[in-house]
Structures are given as C-alpha cells and as structure tokens.
Amino acid sequence: MKLNKNYSMLKENYLFAEVANRAKKFAEENPTAEIIKLGIGDVTLPICKAAVEAGKAASEEMGKAETFRGYGPYEGYEFLREKIAAYYARRGVKLDLNEIFVSEGAKNDVTGILDLFAVDNIVLAPDPVYPVYVDSNIMDGRKIIFANGNEQNGFLPLPDKKVKADIIYLCSPNNPTGAAYDKAGLKAWVDYANSLGAVILFDAAYEFFISDDRLPHSIYEIDGAKECAVEICSFSKTAGFTGVRLGYMIIPRRLAGGALNSMWLRRQSTKYNGASYIVQRMGEAVFCEEGMKQIKAGVAAYMKNAALMSDTLTKLGIWHTGGVNSPYIWLKCPGGDSWAFFDRLLSGAGIVGTPGAGFGKMGEGYFRLTAFNTFENTSKAMSRLEKLLK
C-alpha cells in the first residue's frame, strides 16, 4: 500500500474545522460565555414550507408500492431539471436538459469534476479563495497559481494575458469577499479562457443574493461562455438545504465538443447513484411560485443582517466590501493580523468570525463575517463589536 503523498502538502486542519476547534476550546474554558457564530456559512432559518410539504408528500409516495421509486436517473429526475432550465430561461439563458446534472451539493461537484482533468493541467484560482478549490487540487497534485484580489481591484481580479492556465476557478458573488463581477468583468475572463482553450469552473452558489439586477447571475449571460464554462450551483444557502444536500451543475454540449458532458455522465454512472427522490421533489418545490416567494423572504432576512453589519462597520470607520449582493462581509482587520483579530473578537465580544489568512495570502489582514444568523443575534453581535472597537 502506498499513500497519496499530496495530502502531506495540505495544512493540518481545514480552515473551518480550525475555526470550530478554537471556538469550542474557548467555550469549554468560558462556560458562561454567550458565543455568537458569524463564521462558518451555515444557515439558521428553516427550510421553506413549500419544500417541506413536498418532502412529506414524496416520503408518503416512497411508502406505497404503487408509487415507490428506487434508483433514479444518474443526471437527476427530469421534473427537477425542467424547473432548473425554466429558472435559467428567466435570465435569457437557454439550456437543454441533457446539460443539467443534479447532485448532492456544489462542494461535491466542484471537487468531483476534477476527475475529468489530467493532473498536469495548471489551475488558476483567485486569492482570497474558497479553500476547497485549492485543497482538492493539492490532493490531486496539480500546480496552482493565483490571481490576486485586493482593495485596489475591489477583490475582483481580472486575467493577466501573460499568464497561462488550463482550469480557472471563479466565484461570483465571491466567497469569502462578497464581491460580484459585472458583465464586463466576466466577459474578460470568458475571452481569456477561450483564447487559451481553458475551462472556467464557475461557482454560482450565491447568485440568488444578488440585488443589483445589472449584475449577471449566470456566466452563461456572457457571450462565449458555453464554449468554456461549467457552472455549479447549490440549494444550500438560498433554500436552507445545508442539512439535506442538493445542487446542480451545468455542462454545455458546446464545451470541448461535448466531451466533458459525456465524460461527466460516464463518471456519475460509475461513482454516483444520484440525490434522493425526496430531496429532488423538495428542490422542485423551491422553484414553484410559492417556493420562490418563501426563499426570497429568507434571503431578505439574511440581507437585513448584512445591511446591519455594513452599517455598523461604516459607523466604526472600518473598510469593508460585500453585504450588498452577498451574505458575506469582508472587512479590514483593525491591527492587521487576522488570527489575532479572531482571538480578540472571540475573547472580547464572544463573536466567531473567519480570519482572512485562511483564504489565502491576499486574505491576511482581512476578516469574513456571515449574515447567516438571526437578526436578534446579529444585532447583539454588532452592539458588542461597536463596544469593543470604539
């Protein structure tokens, strides 16, 4: 037996596991402390009623011989893929059903699709970056280079034509910074990828939080994107499915002459038996009129939290971005050291956030807060923050 030596190249702990461990240790040492978690991007609102009712009905179906279902289609049930296609059509994006693949979440897809690419491909990722993009490629042994985000470019780096890459990661609205590309920015990346014959892995997990309708929700709103981009999306944050797991990926037939599309179906049929029928029925309900109304209300509640955080930071004179089109606030650390600020915030105010250093070299000196808590807790946290930093 030989182990995969690439794992030795990883940091000892996954970022969010480290955040959780430090928060747990603090809680054990301070049992009376009331800790407010604004760190890990997990939701707090319940799943919308339309999805819950659909899940109940699907469970009943599975308990009757005449409506029981076993293995489903590898690419997902047609009833859900039709709803996804109709959702994209509202943005002027036409998708064929055989370009849509249902899964158990964006994290599965953004890592699983790497099976289709040789290990000698060069990966280009933004910095700061969602750690999964980097860690999954380190595990495979690929070379990774970075496009640096900073205050000057609004943490929305554009391509450098002198740099060559094969696999490009983009996330808009971005995790962790909350910054979102406009159409011109995405067009620059699409043109760059097409000029290189590269593929863009576009993470659109937070597209439903975009409030500025001039901003693209999908990379396929950009001419030329179907020739170079795979889009990955999730029900986790928009519909509260972090605990039930559901997502989807779009692989256009025009990309790589259809090779990636057919390879992914082949991969799924070998390695995956599909998201459960019950959860896919819940996903279908999210796209119905009542479901959309309910998840919009949930998103609005989170964005109310984000607005409160932004207002508090503005009052304190702290530079930040995000929060307008994203549930994340990305702020400049008072003092500069992001892990030191983590400790100060936890010990002095009982607030858990995420140090920017965990998102890459360019994240040092910055800090991420999430809007995924109750308004009551967010208000309490901001009062504590204001008291701590005044």
In a domain, 3, yes or no: no
Give the domain extent around 351: 13-42+295-389
Query: Rounded to whole angstroms, what are the CA distances from 344 to 249, 265, 336?
Result: 40, 48, 12
pLDDT reading at 13 higher than 80 = no
User: 42 pLDDT band (50/70/90 cuts)?
Assistant: confident
In a domain, 7, yes or no: no
Examine the domain organization and report whether 333 and 365 are in the same domain: yes
Examine the domain organization and report whether 285 and 310 are in the same domain: no
Q: What is the overall mean pLDDT for the chain?
A: 96
Please tell me the predicted confidence (pLDDT) of residue 375.
96
Examine the domain organization and report whether 87 and 180 are in the same domain: yes
Examine the domain organization and report whether 23 and 150 are in the same domain: no
- Domain boundary residue among 266, 290, 314? 290
Examine the domain organization and report whether 30 and 115 are in the same domain: no
Examine the domain organization and report whether 269 and 142 are in the same domain: yes
Examine the domain organization and report whether 129 and 262 are in the same domain: yes
Structure tokens at 334: 């008072």
Query: Rounded to whole angstroms, what are the CA distances from 39 to 17, 212, 259?
Result: 11, 25, 39
Please tell me the predicted confidence (pLDDT) of residue 304.
97
Examine the domain organization and report whether 285 and 151 are in the same domain: yes
Q: Which of 187, 261, 262 is nearest to 225 (CA)?
A: 187
Examine the domain organization and report whether 18 and 163 are in the same domain: no
| CB environment 210-248: b (16+ within 10 A), e (fewer) | beeeebbbbbbbbeebbbbbbbbbbbbbbbbbbebbbbb
- Domain boundary residue among 273, 290, 307? 290
In a domain, 72, yes or no: yes
Tally of domains in the chain: 2
Examine the domain organization and report whether 99 and 133 are in the same domain: yes
| Residues 98-134: tens digit of each pLDDT | 999 999 999 999 999 999 999 999 999 999 999 999 9
pLDDT reading at 15 higher than 90 = no
Examine the domain organization and report whether 252 and 349 are in the same domain: no
Write the DSSP string, 68-83: ---S--TT--HHHHHH
Q: Which whole number is the average pLDDT over 87-98?
A: 97
pLDDT reading at 16 higher than 90 = no
CB count within 10 Å of CB 273 equals: 11
In this structure, what CATH number is given to the domain that contains residue 311? 3.90.1150.10
In a domain, 2, yes or no: no
User: 92 pLDDT band (50/70/90 cuts)?
Assistant: very high
In a domain, 5, yes or no: no
Examine the domain organization and report whether 285 and 300 are in the same domain: no
- Domain boundary residue among 256, 290, 324? 290
